Amino acid sequence: MDLKLKEALTSMMKISSKLLNIIKKSNSVLIAGHINPEGDSLGSSLALALGLKKLGKRVSVLSRDPVPETLRFLPSSRLVKHSPPKMKVDLLIIVDCNELSRTGLKDFNANNIAVIDHHILPSNASKQDFYKKLAAMHVDPDSAAAGVLVYKVLKGLNVPMDKSIATNLYTAILTDTGGFRYSNASAESLLIASHLVAAGASPWSISKELYENTPFKSMKLLGYALSTLERKNGIAWININSTMFQKTGTTAEDCEDFVDFPRKIRGTEVAVFFRQDKKNLFKLSLRSKGKVDVQKIAKSFGGGGHAAAAGCSVEGTFQEVQTKVFRAVRKAIKEGTKN
């Protein structure tokens, strides 16, 4: 057997024993993902919930924002609630983010808090009270998706895999690897995906829901976005403003993957998608083809993410935001070229 495949098989079962123990001891569990949930956040949260229910736990899934229309096919997506329960729970698990503020929710009432995530921790994490008080944490930036970590947790808890859990996890991994096209698509993630297919996940059915079921209004919005397409010095970008949202009757939910289009252009090192959230506030999505660590760019504006995919919000007029962002991107491209 290939050495890398052996390593992938070995690492598959590695998970925090502290996390497994705290889950075993907890009877009531609340699972919360990040704001503006996407496939990994929702798929991982729902899979974990379904798995813990099999162990007899009382489980609730929480999301500040509604389940996107394109993800309502996920098994048990209707279980997602939007405000914390009044009763105190034994354990709150934050999935696919590692800061309480990223959930967009407050007033959690839990005896213990744990984190399952694959994003880089804040540089000052060791000094923050939140991290000091965590009952358990399993953060692995090298994992392709939070879904990979949840798969390991469920395996570590000896939860039998079924079609519903497998569908949620496969969706989580598929979306965060860009359909297994991104650089984070590893031997481990592909191996886990094969196990999920064997357990009942249907690659075609899931891909059809995710990539061939776009609402008409979203496609109209994409047309407006592509009409703004520009490129210069290795940067390609598009934008959406409030007028475009109004004309098409759409919301931020309808442009989740728009940044992938400028990224496809030959010669592009960094793709940027500017989305107007308020008059002088823009949400940015950044994508890299490998030479540039866009997580560092996003972090400089108070955001975060991964080396190849990151995001942040920047205040100012559109011209002011573009000027600041392009300056940072050009600098990053220059530094990446030197390396």
Give pLDDT tens digits for 255-310. 989 999 999 999 999 999 999 999 999 999 999 998 999 999 999 999 988 889 99
The C-alpha atoms of residue 297 and residue 86 are separated, in whole angstroms, by: 39
Instruction: Give the tokens for residue 217.
Output: 């209004």
Summarised one tens digit per residue, pLDDT across range 140-149 is 999 999 999 9
Q: What is the pLDDT of residue 157?
A: 96
User: Terminal CA-to-CA distance of the chain, rounded, Å?
Assistant: 34
Distance CA 74, CA 172 (A): 10
Print pLDDT tens along the chain (339 aa): 455 544 544 554 577 889 999 999 999 999 999 998 999 999 999 999 999 999 999 999 999 999 999 999 999 999 899 988 888 999 999 999 998 889 998 878 899 999 999 998 887 777 788 888 899 999 999 999 999 999 999 999 999 999 999 999 999 999 999 999 988 999 999 999 999 999 999 999 999 999 999 999 999 999 999 999 999 999 999 999 999 999 999 999 899 899 999 999 999 999 999 999 999 999 999 999 989 999 999 999 999 888 899 999 999 999 999 999 999 999 999 987 655
pLDDT at position 85: 85
What pLDDT is attached to residue 108?
85
Domains contained in the chain, CATH given:
3-210 (3.90.1640.10), 216-338 (3.10.310.30)
Cβ(51)–Cβ(76) below 8 Å? no
Chain segment 107-129, per-residue pLDDT in tens = 788 999 999 999 988 877 777 88
Q: CB of 137 within 8 A of CB of 100? A: no
Supply the DSSP string of 14-74, one letter for each residue: ---HHHHHHHHH-SEEEEE--SS--HHHHHHHHHHHHHHHHTT-EEEEE-SSPPPGGGTTS
User: How high is the pLDDT of residue 110?
Assistant: 93
HEC sequence for 265-279: CCCCCEEEEEEEEEC
Predicted confidence at residue 316, as pLDDT, reads 97
Alpha helices, H only, 142-273: 146-156, 163-176, 187-198, 203-211, 216-226, 242-248, 260-263
In this prediction, residue 1 carries a pLDDT of 41
Q: What is the pLDDT of residue 83?
A: 86
Report the pLDDT value the prediction gives residue 8, as an integer from 0 to 100.
46
What token pair was written down for 163? Answer: 């079609």
> What pLDDT digit, counting tens, does each position of 77-87 carry?
998 999 888 88
To the question of pTM greater than 0.85 for the whole model, the response is yes
Closest CA relative to residue 228, chosen from 247, 215, 241, 246 = 241
